[in-house]
Structure 1
Amino acid sequence: MGQWLYLLQRNVMNADTDAQELVYHSFRELVYRDIYKLLRDHGLTEDVIQESFIKAIAKGPEVRHAPVMRTWIRRVARNTALDVIRKNRKHRQMITTEFFHNPAISILLPDTEPSIANLVEDKFRDNLLYQSIRELQSDYQMLLLLHYFEEKSYKEMSQELHLSEQVISQRLARARKKLRQQFMRKWS
């Protein structure tokens, strides 16, 4: 195990400034590439690294097994990045809604009112989709509603339903396939 991992595991806050810098830079070097692949934004990646480093400092002394330390650090950083992605997705949706409903900005945008025919077709399609969902088995309905309407992750669903994430993933794939078949029968 590297010296920096040892310091992180033992409590880096008690170390001198040079040791703390070594730990941070080594931590950053370990996780930067993985986090950047998820976020594709250097500034946001740096923010996530700092946030995950703080989490690692707080929980590092609790990790007892040295061989899993690197894996644990990568997992903490990845989970922090995924939290940021989820948070930003909700924030981005809110900004987009505010942007397009602002009267001052709507003057600058071309008039993109959907036609009556498109509105009717969308309503008809949505009704067929909901009808197809209601015709599925109840466990498939529940998985689709939890994942797509309540936006729960596989992990949250597995905790709520007391099933493994693997089982959730497989059943959700089957539910999507059944839904697609039923919907296509109605739509065509």
Structure 2
Amino acid sequence: MEVIFNQSEQHLVRLCKKGDAKAQYKLYKLYSKGMYNLAVRMTNNQSMAEDVLQDAFIKAFGEINKLKNEKAFGGWLRRIVANLCIDASRKKKLFLTDMESLNESELEESVEVDDTVEPEQIHALIKKLPDGAREILVLRALEGYKHAEIGEQLGISESTAKTQFFRAKQLLAKMINELNDEERSGKNITGEAIKA
């Protein structure tokens, strides 16, 4: 979710640096929905996402004077949300497993995903991924983080981040294929029942 930053938003950030509560509320209204969606995608838990969102804005407004470039508020806030999601997952002992043993040739294999599946179905399947796989998939595919950045945020190596992302895509593709198989067999059963 990218919010186009304009002069009035830059002015709001400046006011927030002076402790203006109305400006804080306006920035909150502007960014809360997108940041909540990121938190839900990363944690797969609405309650945890709400807590993360609240903590993120408290942290952002508490440390806003550290922000040098007022135009970078959205990206800075996104990083805070992502880091808090990761911390929340760690607190629940949802650690990533290290799969460095996967060789580079396996990583280069393409993962085929059926593009006829509706985005809502894909979103629902992403929610069903194991926590570590979901986090990396959201950070890389949906939020555009580089593998090195993901590795740094999660405390894993860049190659582990690549491996986890590859595994997450594989798992998602498998889930999509299973969904398609279920739909096809459901249609066949329905079709056969009509013929009979």
TM-score range, shorter chain: 0.3 to 0.5
* Structure of greater relative contact order (alpha carbons < 8 Å, 6+ residues apart): 2
> What TM-score do you get using the length of structure 2 for normalisation?
0.43
> What TM-score do you get using the length of structure 1 for normalisation?
0.44
